[in-house]
Amino acid sequence: MLVSMLHWRLAIAALETVMHNTIQRELTINAPQSRVYAAIADPDQVVRWFPETLEGCYAVGEQPVFGFGEHGRSQIFVAAARPDDYFAYRWVPGANHFLGDVLSVPNTLVEFHIVPLDAGSCRVTLTESGFADLPAEMLALAYTQNSKGWDFMLERLLIFCTQAR
């Protein structure tokens, strides 16, 4: 009986880990694919809806710092950029506000996939994965914070991309 209970608890823990490994959001934005990509990948535009500031070079292979005002600063590693349809970076999620070599510690991968739709609109799929690789003591809080945070930030992206310039 004790062995059965242990297996049951391990199975539940494994399921919870899988369930908390990835955040995914999808939204349709009534703006051209190139406009949405620029809002995400252009350093002058990303600071108008996501971080308040951006320090350093915001290019593939670089580790700039996002500034979130009173909430702190977070170093990122820009992992990939494919003009108009894909942008990705790694960071230490949640309110941890890690500064240093992001690749030297457990981190998550944030990906933006942008697909054109009809009539000049596009679909944005945000995926943040890798939460299961985080230390157990920070996994649940980081997942919860970022899950709520992405809902807020993607609404800001939508507003930014659809407002008149």
What are the φ and ψ backbone dihedral angles of 94, each rounded to 5 degrees?
A: 80, -165
* Residue 133 DSSP label: G
State residue 96's pLDDT score.
63
Contacts of 11 (CB under 8 A, 6+ apart): none
Q: In 20-98, which residue ranges form alpha helices assigned H by DSSP?
A: 33-41, 43-46
User: What kind of fold does domain 22-162 have according to CATH?
Assistant: Alpha-D-Glucose-1,6-Bisphosphate; Chain A, domain 4 (3.30.530)
Q: In order along the chain (165 residues), what is the average pLDDT of each group of 10 residues?
A: 43 48 94 97 97 97 95 95 98 84 96 94 96 89 90 95 80
Beta strands 73-82 and 108-116 are unpaired
| pTM score | 0.86
State residue 119's pLDDT score.
84
> Do residues 88 and 73 touch, judged by C-beta distance below 8 A?
no
77-111: string of b/e by CB count within 10 Å (b at 16+)?
Answer: bbbebeebbbbbbbbbbbebbbeeebeeebbbbbb
State residue 165's pLDDT score.
58
